Structure 1
Amino acid sequence: MTTMNEAKEFIPVRIAVLTVSDTRDMTQDRSGDVLVSRLEAAGHVLADRKILRDERAEIAQQLRDWCAEPQIDVVISTGGTGLTGRDVTVEAHRDVYEKEIDAFGTVFTIVSMQKIGTSAVQSRATGGVSNGTYLFALPGSPGACKDAWDEILVKQLDYRHRPCNFVEILPRLDEHQRRK
């Protein structure tokens, strides 16, 4: 059973949003808009937002650049998680991950199954950690972004969420890189 510890103070995190698309620009980025509106409504801070083409090396470099920024705690990408030849976002994320959050993709699939049935098998949502930053790759549909945010991320990115959440361990993600 999950609960909220209302005695704890909410801690906003700084989130960068990356849309991966060969065809969209900011005026057509409905999935990015969904993520921005939800993260801001939850009390978090939009740290940066970009759109990149489906190019693995460029996506991975942008992820690395954001992970090197101390002002960014979380990166959420949308798009490029499917099965076609141009869908390379998952591979780009995995090029950057130090650790993969295996259960994120599993939980996303469970959530998706309730909405779209067996079509959920075509999604390759993934999550991981690099350089003290959380990274999540979501499908490019607004519905998938709503589902991932509303059912998983809004809770895990809330310090008050019990029994545990991503925010409480955020300061320790890069402890292996610190001098002893």
Structure 2
Amino acid sequence: MLQPFQGDRALRIAVLTVSDTRNEQTDKGGPLVQELALAAGLEIGAYEIRKDDTTAIREVLAEWLQREDLDAVVTTGGTGIANRDVTIEAVRPMLQKELDGFGELFRFLSYAEDIGTKALLSRALGGTAAEKAIFVLPGSTGAVRLAMERLILPEIHHIMKELTKHRQPRV
């Protein structure tokens, strides 16, 4: 059953996979985001795969930030420390506010679960722009599952309520 977000409409997310090697047949992170979101009663408003290229990432994100039918964006991939990993650098300048706790909690949970000290390499990022929540996740399915199940899905409705509460008439 869909949880209404605005009127009768469920909260709707866009999913972006950033990869130089994945396509719709080999992408695992983006489809997992969609599967978990749908199971939680969210709708999928868009899904794309883009190369690890700052301009390509910003282009699709800018388009999605203009869409009134989208409430949040979840990206997977391109968050490592290799030279080609540019998702953080592409997205961070577009944020109006960062949700520092998202990255901090993601790394803490990753460390505690099974990643150990390798968690310090994670550059997961959360923030807001244009009244939308934006989450930048590593591309592994383990990272996607952890972020979606433990952080994003439990808080997304609260985050969206805070982002849009100024729209509600005060009583």
Instruction: Indicate whether the TM-score tops 0.5.
Output: yes
The aligned residue for residue 110 of structure 1 is: 108
Summarize the alignment of residues 2-41 of structure 1 with structure 2, pairs less than 5 Å apart: 11=5, 12-41=10-39
Asked if the contact 1:131–1:174 (Cα under 8 Å) also holds between the matched residues in 2, the reply is no
The aligned residue for residue 159 of structure 2 is: 166
The aligned residue for residue 145 of structure 1 is: 144
1:167 and 1:97 map into 2 onto residues whose CA distance is 15
Q: Does 1:62 align with 2:55?
A: no
The aligned residue for residue 98 of structure 1 is: 96
Asked if the contact 2:132–2:160 (Cα under 8 Å) also holds between the matched residues in 1, the reply is no
Q: Which deviations, in whole Å up to 9, do the C-alpha atoms of 1:105-148 show, x marking residues without a partner?
A: 00111111122111111110001111111111000100000000
2:167 and 2:140 map into 1 onto residues whose CA distance is 32
2:65 and 2:33 map into 1 onto residues whose CA distance is 19
The alignment's TM-score, normalised by the length of structure 2, stands at 0.89
The residue matched to 1:124 in structure 2 has which SS? Answer: coil
Structure 1 vs Structure 2 CA RMSD: 1.6
The aligned residue for residue 126 of structure 1 is: 125
Unaligned runs of 5+ in 1: 1-8, 160-164, 176-180
Aligned length: 161
2:91 corresponds to which letter in structure 1? H
Deviation at 1:170, TM superposition (A): 2.9
2:154 corresponds to which letter in structure 1? K
The aligned residue for residue 46 of structure 2 is: 48
Asked if the contact 2:52–2:84 (Cα under 8 Å) also holds between the matched residues in 1, the reply is yes
Q: Which deviations, in whole Å up to 9, do the C-alpha atoms of 1:8-58 show, x marking residues without a partner?
A: x65331000000000100111111111010000000000000000000111
Unaligned runs of 5+ in 2: none
Deviation at 1:174, TM superposition (A): 8.7
1:171 corresponds to which letter in structure 2? T
The aligned residue for residue 4 of structure 1 is: none
2:4 and 2:167 map into 1 onto residues whose CA distance is 22
The alignment's TM-score, normalised by the length of structure 1, stands at 0.85
